[in-house]
Structures are given as structure tokens and as C-alpha cells.
Amino acid sequence: MVGVIRRLNQLTALVRIRNGPGAAVLPQDVTRIHMEFAHKINGGHMGPRKFWRDALPRLKYWNPAVPMVVNRSNNQEGPAMLTLYFREPGSAFTSDIPQPSSSTEGFAKAPVPAPGERVLTIDMKNRRSEAILKEFMDKSGAVAVKMTPQDEAKLREVEDLEATGAIDREKVAKMNAAAKREKQMIAQAHSEAAAIKAAL
């Protein structure tokens, strides 16, 4: 059973990171991406956080060479910005420029564009992740990746395994509940028998 669960987890992770919101190939002129938002969802940071959790891993999967830096802070009143960096046509831009590391303390601010780069920003605050993704796709020129027949077959397999797992979990829950009831009834019978003996 452990092998099936491990296989399901690996299959699910692979299929879900290859497909869905954010599964897109960026054009060659996108040089890097920077995100800034707060840790918690209040203050208009729910959409940015959901975009970061759902769409950004897929973007990174399909565009491993594009640096993607995330700057999170504890300032819930602070900005929620997505910054796109583009190579200017005909420029001598080099991708060897140092990149800041992602930060959970607000230390990785969006860098100024390098010579030969231009910047485009998306204000993510108080917006749903779907709206952020749509604007990102429009402004970046990214092309959504279509699901392959192989991935469709894998997704069906994942769904079948999940459905089987749900049925099995329900059966086990019913068995556990029945065993618990039986144990309670036995305990109650012992208690009543002890009370009768004590009364004699």
C-alpha cells in the first residue's frame, strides 16, 4: 500500500506542476521576474500569495533559466508588486548580472533595471490570483502550455487513484467507528455487570 501512495504522490506532483495556471513558456526577451508581497493574506495579499503558491512554481518549471526572486515581508500594509524585466531589442544586455536571493524578511527588493533592460510592473494588491495571472500573461507575452495526451492519461490515473483512496478511507472510517462503538458497548456492559455485582 505504501508503494501505491508514494507513486500517487509523485505522479500527482509531476502532473500538477506541468499543467494548470502558470504553465507557460516565457518569450526570450523576459530576463527575470520579481515578486513582493506580505506573509499573511490580510491587507490585500491573498491573491499575490495564491499566485506565488500556484502559478510561480509552474512558471519556474517551464522557464528554469529565468531568475524568479520572491521578497516577502511582515508589512501587511506594504505593496504587492510583480516586476517583469525585459531585454531591450538590439541591446548588449548580459544575463550574467548577480541576482538577489529570495527573502522572507523583506530584504530582496526589486533591483533597478540593468543597462539594456526595461521594467514592467503589475500591482497585485487586492486582486484575485486569476486576474494577476491574466495580466501577467498579457504583459509578458507568455504562451500557455497545452496538456499533452500523456499528461491527460496521467491525470485520469491520478483522479482514479484519488477516487479509490476516498472510497478506501470511507470504509476504514466506518470500520473504526464500528470498532469504537463495540468497545464502548463492552465497557458499558462491564460497568453495568460490576454495578449489579456490587448491589448483590
Over the chain (200 residues), what is each successive 10-residue block's mean pLDDT?
A: 60 79 94 94 93 95 95 92 92 76 89 91 96 96 89 77 81 86 86 79
Report pLDDT for 24: 96
The residue type at 68: M
Report pLDDT for 10: 67
Report pLDDT for 160: 78
Report pLDDT for 186: 87
Report pLDDT for 59: 96
What residue segments make up the domains of the chain, in order of their start?
Answer: 1-19+147-200, 21-145
Report pLDDT for 55: 95
Unique residue bearing C-alpha cell 499528461: 151
Class in CATH terms, 21-145: alpha beta
Report pLDDT for 2: 52
Report pLDDT for 4: 60
Bridge partners of residue 83, in order along the sequence: 34, 121
Contact 151, 15 (CB under 8 A): yes
CA distances from 55 to 20, 22, 30, 90 (A): 8, 4, 17, 31
Report pLDDT for 161: 75
pTM score above 0.85: no
Cell of 177: 467507528
Residues 156-194: b if buried by 16+ CB within 10 A, e if exposed: eebeebeeeeeeeeeeeeeeeeeeeeeeeeeeeeeeeee
Report pLDDT for 188: 86
Report pLDDT for 67: 93
Report pLDDT for 73: 93
Report pLDDT for 122: 96
